[in-house]
Chain A
């Protein structure tokens, strides 16, 4: 018999519907993720109302299956954690209400989880990374550098001033005529580049925020430069070779700007914090990109820091990270009332200065 703590996690804040059960022995008993790629494909991006409808259609089936996979009944749950923001509010509502309902029916704690805290605490689920650590979160909706000091305690050092990194990947890929989802397809295309040196000369791109102090990001200039290059390419269909070169140049620039901003944060982190093994954690869907990983590996080595990336399936949106964040919060005595209000904008660091663009949300 299982006497530990079992938490059901629910994630519906963007375009993945997910349910998972995690326990306090760091075991992921189940983690089911249903991606809505097909639903949004025709529109080249996530459509909020379509996402909310898809969550509504599939969430109960996933919750049922997550318990079955975990071989647990609802009576064996010790809490329910649901993403309550930041994110697309229509979808968040579906998951939040499911979480509240199950917790109320079973008279167990409800934990309203900040989606970003799910990403931030994942390295403690998959490995026993200790506080404090530096976190680079790069996804379709968020681009942030945070110091994770403790559960519920974050310092946001950098965020995007316009688009998120993943958004820039997707929009640039779209301009290049690449199919949705843009990020992975752009990476595949870049791999086709035959002469990297020539590609970088042909398509010069601005390095966003170069030389600027701090760790904030900006990607809209990069996207505009891609648009200008695409417009200048010969009329008619875009050619594979041209796009391979452009995708390569884009990816190099993206890796450079992320590294450049991270290095700034790493210097400050090493000055201000004492950690046994100073670590940079990278998470979010964009961290799947191998060029970016290589670049981050190089800079962490240069600064004598450890680079940690959770397994890919736990880097992109999933409910195991929400269950785990809920569990860590519950162990700290933190739980929420059933009148909790979903928060489309919800910064992890309430003291961080407000920003524009994707940075406004969190």
Chain B
């Protein structure tokens, strides 16, 4: 496996546009993040260009690309994934896809190393009634599947356990439920340096066999409604 020295990381799956270039040897990173509900398709590529240039690199230095793949806004996650996959093709470098839930979990742990015992959950905005939700143990290992759940279902899963809720949807959730066993820690944007470091971890563990990681994580069907009055049916051909 070739050695990885420079990683480009990006995330547009949540309410922001986040880009970093991470230098593996020096552990130095250069990043930009901007909060936005929409507009990532306009901002992302110029932001990548400026982060690459301002980090003192060129596109040819990049040897791994890490991107989020959802859950989040459908169009937003595709903006990041399509950009990352096409950069990977053009630069002939591998692309790793990461779950936004896992990225926020790692981001939370990096800021709270002392509370390693405590279970926590990540809540990400669906921009509908429900939430993208996943539970993690104090080591950051997932203890539930990523799911789209409404507030009642989440409270049921959490039970009486003392837990911290982390993510960009905690304010909306806490307006619905404020039980004593749940505390809240808002994280609105991903840290693209975390995306880069996690991407490196996945790559070092799995090598070139990371194609599956770039499958989008929608956690939800395409919401298709069938027509109300089905058309009349046509008799089979007789001749």
Contact = CB atoms under 8 A, between A and B. Distances in A.
Contacts of A342: 41
Interface of B: 41-46, 48-49, 59, 74-75, 78-79, 81-92, 216, 218, 222-224, 226-227, 231-235, 237-238
A206 interface: no
A74 interface: yes
Interface stretch (A52-60, A276-284, A294-302): A52-60
Nearest to A175: B231
A107 B223 CA distance: 39
A246 to B, nearest CB: 11
A347 B60 CA distance: 38
A187 to B, nearest CB: 15
Given A101-B90, A105-B90, A237-B233, A90 B224 contact: no
Contacts of B78: 52, 56, 90, 93-94, 97
Contacts of A89: 75
Interface string A37-73: 0000001100101101100100110011000000000
Interface string A83-96: 00000011001111
A77 B41 CA distance: 23
B82 A97 contact: yes
A102 B234 contact: no
Interface in A99-126: 99-102, 104-107
Interface residues of A, number: 47
What is the interface of chain A mostly: helix, strand, loop, or mixed?
A: helix
Contacts of A43: 224, 226
B75 A104 contact: no
Q: Return the 9 tightest CB-CB contacts between A and B, nearest first.
A: A177-B234, A101-B86, A237-B235, A49-B222, A105-B90, A338-B45, A98-B86, A97-B82, A102-B90
B42 A340 contact: yes
Contact of A96 (B41, B81, B91): B41
A304 B85 CA distance: 51
Given A52-B75, A107-B59, A338-B45, 7 more contacts: A64-B89, A97-B41, A98-B82, A101-B45, A238-B233, A338-B49, A339-B43
Contact of A238 (B89, B232, B238): B232
A298 B84 CA distance: 51
A341 B222 contact: no
A13 to B, nearest CB: 14
A74 B227 contact: no
Given A238-B233, A240-B235, A100 B75 contact: no
Contact of B46 (A47, A233, A339): A339
Given A49-B224, A53-B222, A339-B42, A240 B75 contact: no
A94 B232 contact: no
12 contacts: A49-B223, A56-B216, A60-B88, A89-B75, A95-B82, A97-B82, A102-B86, A105-B86, A174-B231, A175-B232, A233-B232, A341-B42
A52 B85 contact: no
A105 B92 CA distance: 10
Contacts of B88: 60
A258 interface: no
A230 interface: yes
A164 interface: no
A105 B42 contact: no
A183 to B, nearest CB: 16
A178 interface: yes
Contact of B237 (A44, A102, A240): A240
B231 A177 contact: yes
Contacts of B44: 97
Interface in A316-348: 337-342
A67 to B, nearest CB: 9
Contacts of B91: 105
B217 to A, nearest CB: 12
A74 B83 CA distance: 15
A193 to B, nearest CB: 14
A175 to B, nearest CB: 6
A239 interface: yes
A81 to B, nearest CB: 14
A22 interface: no
A208 B62 CA distance: 59
Contacts of A49: 74, 222-224
Contacts of B238: 240
